[in-house]
Amino acid sequence: MLSVPRVWVNPNQIAKALRRAERALAPDVVLIRFTLRDDWTGDPSIFFKVVLSDKAASKQSKLNELTERIEFTINNKVKPDELGLNSYFNFRSLSEHNELNDPAWA
């Protein structure tokens, strides 16, 4: 088995990059959070939690286009591939976010 060194990741730099992404994606994106952990294969990964405005989430015909734009923008701001991280995305609407009140998304 090949051992690959892990890259040091600065969570503060990621948070700053995500604030820039939030501004660039407003008003469709309300909030972006992230978690750093290994994925199911054991690879270092970053999991993005994106809260969409209810208006943006309600446009079913445009949702795929919107999520692709969001993923592209976040990947360009954070550059997880350069950090040696796999990136994963989860989306919720603002009303769903408020209703679930999930601490993992706070």
Q: Which domains does the chain have, with CATH numbers?
A: 11-105 (3.30.70.1350)
Dist. CA 50–CA 53, nearest whole Å: 10
Dist. CA 76–CA 80, nearest whole Å: 9
Q: Has residue 103 got a pLDDT over 90?
A: no
**Residue-wise burial string across 15-33, b where 16 or more C-beta atoms lie within 10 A, e elsewhere:** eebbeebbeebeebbbbbe
Q: Identify the pLDDT of residue 34.
A: 95
pTM of the model: 0.88
Per-residue pLDDT reduced to its tens digit, 9-22: 888 999 999 999 99
Looking at this protein, which amino acid is placed at residue 28? D
Per-residue pLDDT reduced to its tens digit, 30-87: 999 999 999 999 999 999 999 999 999 998 889 999 999 999 999 999 999 999 899 9
Q: Cβ(34)–Cβ(16) under 8 Å?
A: no
Dist. CA 102–CA 42, nearest whole Å: 25
3-state helix, strand, coil in the chain (%, to 5): 45, 25, 30
